[in-house]
């Protein structure tokens, strides 16, 4: 197949998958919080959750207008609606089409880099998962298990099939070292400061990244993620936008590091 057609197909699939990511990014944190808040009640009453990724149908969060098929077309639906709900005319966030476009770009980048191979398509799904985690962590400081754990197991499976730069042995050790390191750091911080310094989601995300990249990428991931986080925090501090005792989500920086190191050999960053 012609390269241009392959790249166009990757972009189209990326747009469609990006539309699904918008649903995940909006609903999954709410599902997690709802389940946490009503955990005991659900255990007693055995009630099913009122929100899922498939129910209810996509709708406007302001007026509950159910979106028709043409309104759900990635990017084009947003353009046709001129960025407003057809029913109540409330502005629609630009985050929706931007997520779709960014995901499409990531899919094309992965296919250009690895070719239309199992490694290329698996890298595209990997990039989509990191994009979803980035947006969710920035908005809610959550890194849901529903994404990090499948990403971890997917990395181990992909490495066993030869679809990642890491061997299965390196992937297994990477997952164990990644989780163990962040767990130990959080335990030490808790003993010293009597509060958690790292979330459990960060540990699972690092374990997932190293399941895809292998344990030799550990130093590279932490170095790149820490430097980028420090740079952003410094800029916020200089602009007086960083509140005292503010929580800094580390997941987005881990995700960026994981994506960069997937596309470029980890040894280049050591």
- For the chain, which ranges sit under pLDDT 50? 44, 48, 268-269
pLDDT of residue 267: 52
Cβ-proximal residues to 17 (8 Å cutoff; 6+ apart), any chain: 103, 107, 128
pLDDT of residue 220: 92
CA-to-CA separations, 102 to 8, 85, 99, 127, 192, in angstroms, rounded: 14, 22, 5, 10, 41
Please state the separation of Cα 104 from the chain's center in Å.
Answer: 15
Is there a contact between 67 and 96 (Cβ–Cβ < 8 Å)? no
4-55: pLDDT as tens digits: 899 999 999 999 999 999 999 999 998 888 776 666 555 545 554 577 887 8
Burial of 176 (0-12, 13-18, 19+ CB in 10 A): middle
CA nearest to 233, candidates 255, 248, 254: 248
> Taking the CB of residue 62, how many other CB atoms lie within 10 A of it?
13
Cβ-proximal residues to 261 (8 Å cutoff; 6+ apart), any chain: 209, 213, 217, 220, 221, 224, 269
Longest dimension (CA), the chain: 59
pLDDT of residue 149: 96
pLDDT of residue 44: 47
pTM of the model: 0.90
CA nearest to 84, candidates 63, 56, 53: 63
CA dist., res. 138 & res. 203, Å (int): 17
CA dist., res. 193 & res. 185, Å (int): 12
């Amino acid at each position: 197949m012609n390269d241009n057609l392959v790249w166009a197909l990757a972009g189209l699939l990326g747009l469609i998958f990006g539309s699904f990511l918008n649903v995940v990014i909006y609903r999954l944190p709410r599902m997690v919080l709802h389940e946490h808040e009503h955990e005991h009640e659900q255990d007693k009453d055995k009630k099913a959750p009122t929100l899922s990724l498939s129910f209810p149908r996509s709708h406007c969060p302001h007026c509950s207008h159910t979106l028709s098929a043409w309104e759900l077309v990635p990017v084009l639906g947003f353009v046709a609606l001129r960025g407003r709900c057809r029913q109540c005319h409330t502005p629609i966030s630009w985050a929706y089409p931007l997520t779709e476009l960014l995901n499409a770009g990531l899919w094309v980048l992965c296919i250009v880099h690895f070719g239309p191979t199992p490694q290329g398509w698996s890298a595209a799904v990997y990039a989509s998962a990191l994009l979803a985690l980035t947006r969710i962590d920035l908005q809610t400081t959550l890194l849901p298990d529903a994404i990090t754990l499948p990403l971890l197991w997917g990395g181990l499976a992909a490495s066993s099939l030869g679809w990642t730069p890491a061997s299965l042995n390196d992937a297994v050790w990477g997952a164990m070292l990644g989780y163990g390191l962040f767990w130990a750091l959080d335990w030490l911080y808790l003993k010293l400061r009597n509060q958690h310094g790292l979330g459990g989601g960060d540990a699972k995300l690092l374990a997932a990244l190293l399941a895809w990249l292998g344990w030799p990428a550990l130093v590279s991931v932490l170095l790149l993620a820490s430097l980028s986080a420090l740079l952003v925090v410094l800029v916020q501090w200089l602009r007086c936008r960083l509140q005292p005792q503010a929580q800094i989500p580390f997941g987005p920086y881990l995700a960026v590091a994981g994506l960069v190191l997937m596309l470029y050999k980890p040894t280049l960053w050591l």
